[in-house]
Amino acid sequence: MDTEFSPLVYTQLSSDGTPISVRSYPAQGVAHGSVVIGGAMGVRQDYYAPFAQWLSARGWQVCTFDYRGMGDSRPSGGLKGFQADLHDWVRDYEAVIDHAKACLPAQPLYLLGHSLGAQLPGLLGNTHKVAGMLSVAAGSGYWRENAPQLKRIVPYFWYFLVPVATRLFGYFPGRRLRKVGDLPAGVMMQWRSWCLHPNYSVGAEGEAVRQRYASVRFPVTALSIADDELMTLRGTHSLINLYENAQREVHRIVPSDLAVHRIGHFGPFRSEQESKLWPRMADWLAGLAVPRAV
């Protein structure tokens, strides 16, 4: 790992005034552009710190953040009764994009979406500020397209555990249950409706959301991890195809091709990938700026 440095830590207000915790890693040397990392469901921004530092050392301004109700954006009074849904998380994403773009207005801004972080950009209202997205280990989330080991348990999860626990506690107590993490009730129940619909977010939310995804014009490159314990290649294609009018491509990442035993859903951002997958991810980010044949 390159020499570590402390990121700039600040609070960014979402469009409705909700404070969002953000960490900014300034580009070292001449800046190529900005990267906003949209995290997976229940994953704190801390998890992406090693990769963010590594990327910033290679000339990228990188921003990470915690959606409202998670990590450092969790309210001091706790999550019981805290009002937030996935549309609110989209507003948080937008606010971080706005800030990152304002810091480097003349340089391109890219999204690096991990799982949920590659699903939400179809709902963004400021996609004109985005030059491209690298999707990592992301799929539609529809439960019948989940990986086999997950698909066996999700009916119990969605039809019993989630509704019962969320109603009982006033939020989803994922930390206590060792499932996903603590999440606002509105987020969890809306995500449940997405995951139970064959067309995921577009199917659950309706025509207006389908049109939002269809309005995306920035290129999308998706990485499907062969040993992902949550997402499948089929699910990745289902998600990426929601961005129907964007240039898009899918790459399959096989652990043996990188001379590693395992990667999995969360492995792409672990430090052991510094000399393996991270350079390839940086190349794919840079490649988003290269025009492709239609």
Query: What's the confidence (pLDDT) of residue 289?
Result: 80
Residue 71 lies in a domain: yes
Query: What's the confidence (pLDDT) of residue 201?
Result: 97
Q: Are 23 and 7 in contact (CB under 8 A)?
A: yes
Q: Tell me the residue range of the domain where 157 lies.
A: 8-287
pLDDT along the chain (294 residues), means of 10: 73 93 94 96 97 96 97 94 96 97 96 98 97 97 93 94 96 93 97 97 96 96 97 97 96 95 96 96 90 56
The dihedral sign for the CA sequence 251, 124, 92, 58: positive
Residue 3 lies in a domain: no
Residue 260 lies in a domain: yes
Residue 135 lies in a domain: yes
Query: What's the confidence (pLDDT) of residue 291?
Result: 62
Query: What's the confidence (pLDDT) of residue 30?
Result: 87
Residue 42 lies in a domain: yes
3-state helix/strand/coil string of the chain: CCCCCCCEEEEEECCCCCEEEEEEECCCCCCCEEEEEECCCCCCHHHHHHHHHHHHCCCEEEEEECCCCCHHHCCCCCCCCCCCCHHHHHHHHHHHHHHHHHHCCCCCEEEEEECHHHHHHHHCCCHHHCCEEEEECCCCCCHHHECHHHHCCHHHHHHHHHHHHHHHHCEEEHHHHCCCCEEEHHHHHHHHHHHCCCCHHHHHHCHHHHHHHHCCCCCEEEEEECCCCCECHHHHHHHHCCCCCCCEEEEEECHHHHCCCCCCCCHHHCHHHCCCCHHHHHHHHHHCCCCCCC
Interatomic CA distance for residues 109 and 24, integer angstroms? 14
Residue partners of 191: CB distance under 8 A and separation at least 6: 41, 86, 141
Residue 245 lies in a domain: yes
- Enumerate the β-bridge partners of residue 37: 64, 112
Interatomic CA distance for residues 32 and 68, integer angstroms? 29
Residue 1 lies in a domain: no
Interatomic CA distance for residues 162 and 165, integer angstroms? 5
Q: Are 81 and 75 in contact (CB under 8 A)?
A: no
Q: Are 175 and 229 in contact (CB under 8 A)?
A: no
Residue 168 lies in a domain: yes
Query: What's the confidence (pLDDT) of residue 133?
Result: 98
CATH of the domain at 264: 3.40.50.1820
- How many domains does the chain divide into? 1
Task: Give residue 162's identity as a one-letter amino acid code.
Answer: V
